[in-house]
């Protein structure tokens, strides 16, 4: 019993002392995994993914690749400017931004920790234009900026009892790579993990702001998600409470509620809300 008490106290203390704040939303999140631990795994997984899908990665001269890279780089530049000018430079200091487009029917895109981004061609008919694409890429980049991956991994580590003593030695723990691969589904078509509903909605909110900072009108996000809802109706969806993603209706309603906030950043040249 005493050992269980000490174990519980250690986990509680570690959890409280390992919380960080998400930029813009101000939410406190658990973060037991440092960039020096997380990013090398992400970069390795990204490199392996590109190698395994080498024949499907579009060349830089491809028109679709050029559009995705252009929009992605615009958002990246806006995010970097905001982070560097508002006290968050350390959060992206070790990022190695990269955008690639992969030929696939999947309606998918993702951004790994450290800024490694992939967009599948299957989603481009749904994004339709630059604003739709900015909605998707802003959302995926938001997952990385908000530290959702490290947060999920931290919770997994705590649930497994790793790092209870305050020393999450990921590089020396063989279980950690297994946890990472499980969360990211490395080696499967859906590389990124399915985030929790709260994280998805937070990424929606941040994504709206990021696309607005980059000069894309966030009002266009609603129509994209409506198109996305229609495009994904082919597969039967589970009830919202059983899903890691919010329902289409919930997502669109929350996006509409967040638009006034995002609109303040639209056409801003400073990364700060337009007065």
Q: What ranges do the domains of the chain cover? A: 28-263
Output the pLDDT for position 21. Answer: 84
Output the pLDDT for position 28. Answer: 85
Output the pLDDT for position 23. Answer: 87
If you average pLDDT over residues 147-166, what whole number do you get?
Answer: 66
Output the pLDDT for position 9. Answer: 39
Beta-carbon count within 10 A of 143 CB: 23
Highest mean pLDDT among 25-34, 178-187, 197-206: 197-206
Residue of 84 and 155 predicted with greater confidence: 84
Output the pLDDT for position 159. Answer: 61
Percent over 90 (pLDDT), the chain: 52
Both tokens of 63, joined, read 């028109």
Kindly report the pTM of this predicted structure: 0.81
Task: For residue range 208-262, list pLDDT tens digits in order.
Answer: 999 999 999 999 999 999 999 898 765 555 454 445 677 888 899 999 999 999 9
Output the pLDDT for position 57. Answer: 97
Q: Give yes or no for a contact between 137 and 203, defined as CB atoms under 8 angstroms apart.
A: no
- Evaluated on CA atoms 100, 101, 106, 108, the torsion sign reads positive
Q: Which residues 6+ apart lie within 8 Å of 45 measured at CB?
A: 112, 180, 181, 184, 186, 191
| Catalytic sites, residue numbers | 140
Q: What is the mean pLDDT of the chain?
A: 81
Residue of 64 and 269 predicted with greater confidence: 64
Task: For residue range 85-143, list pLDDT tens digits in order.
Answer: 999 999 999 999 999 999 999 999 999 999 999 999 999 999 999 999 999 999 999 99
Residue of 186 and 23 predicted with greater confidence: 23
Q: What whole-number distance in Å separates Cα of residue 52 and Cα of residue 56?
A: 9
Residue of 273 and 194 predicted with greater confidence: 273
Output the pLDDT for position 22. Answer: 86
Output the pLDDT for position 241. Answer: 44
Q: Give yes or no for a contact between 194 and 245, defined as CB atoms under 8 angstroms apart.
A: yes
Output the pLDDT for position 198. Answer: 85
Residue of 168 and 65 predicted with greater confidence: 65
Is the predicted pLDDT of residue 74 greater than 60, yes or no?
yes
Q: What whole-number distance in Å separates Cα of residue 126 and Cα of residue 132?
A: 8
């Amino acid at each position: 019993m005493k050992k269980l008490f000490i174990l519980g106290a250690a986990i509680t203390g570690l959890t409280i002392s390992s919380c960080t704040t998400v930029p813009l939303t101000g939410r406190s999140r658990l973060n037991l995994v440092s960039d020096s631990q997380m990013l090398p795994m992400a970069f390795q997984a990204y490199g392996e993914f590109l190698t395994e899908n080498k024949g499907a990665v579009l060349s830089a001269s491809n028109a679709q690749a050029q559009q995705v890279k252009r929009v992605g780089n615009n958002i990246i530049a806006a995010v970097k400017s905001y982070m560097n000018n508002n006290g968050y430079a350390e959060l992206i200091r070790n990022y190695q931004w990269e955008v690639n487009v992969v030929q696939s029917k999947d309606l998918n895109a993702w951004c790994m920790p450290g800024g490694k981004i992939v967009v599948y061609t299957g989603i481009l008919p749904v994004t339709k234009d630059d604003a739709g694409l900015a909605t998707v890429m802003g959302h995926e980049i938001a997952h990385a900026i908000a530290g959702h991956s490290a947060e999920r991994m931290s919770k997994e580590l705590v649930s497994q009892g790793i790092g209870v003593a305050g020393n999450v030695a990921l590089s020396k723990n063989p279980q950690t790579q297994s946890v990472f691969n499980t969360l990211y589904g490395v080696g499967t078509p859906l590389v990124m993990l399915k985030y929790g509903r709260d994280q998805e909605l937070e990424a929606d909110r941040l994504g709206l702001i990021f696309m607005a900072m980059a000069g894309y009108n966030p009002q266009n996000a609603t129509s994209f998600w409506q198109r996305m809802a229609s495009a994904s109706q082919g597969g039967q969806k589970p009830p919202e409470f059983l899903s890691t993603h919010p329902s289409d209706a919930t997502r669109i309603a929350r996006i509409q509620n967040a638009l006034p906030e995002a609109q303040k950043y639209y056409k801003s040249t400073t990364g700060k809300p337009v007065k």
